[in-house]
Amino acid sequence: MIIQTPEFFIKSKVCGSTFKQKINGRHREYCNDNCKNYTKYLNALVKTIDSIDFTNHEYVKSIKSDLFSVVNHMPKKNKEVNHDCNI
């Protein structure tokens, strides 16, 4: 007699795609490593930005410019994106 572990579907916290989750054991929060790493690095970025003293307005401009530059390094939607995950 084969006993199967019951499963259910859950949504990824990042991209919203659904994936199978077993009832027993630790529950995953992300559908794959891309979603997990996205959250990890986003949290690190927010924590770092929160620790910066923004009293100098020129400094704020510089940081915004640098962040804009980082965003421009991201692939364009529907061109270079791997569609395994919706992030």
Per-residue pLDDT for the chain (87 aa), expressed as one digit of tens each? Answer: 666 667 788 888 888 888 888 777 777 788 889 999 999 999 999 999 888 888 878 888 888 899 899 888 888 765 544 545 555
- Where are the domains positioned within the chain? 7-72
- Phi and psi torsions of 64, nearest 5°: -60, -40
The count of other CB atoms within 10 Å of the CB of residue 11 is: 13
| Whole-number pLDDT of residue 78 | 58
Distance CA 24, CA 10 (A): 14
Say whether pTM exceeds 0.85. Answer: no
pLDDT for residue 58: 81
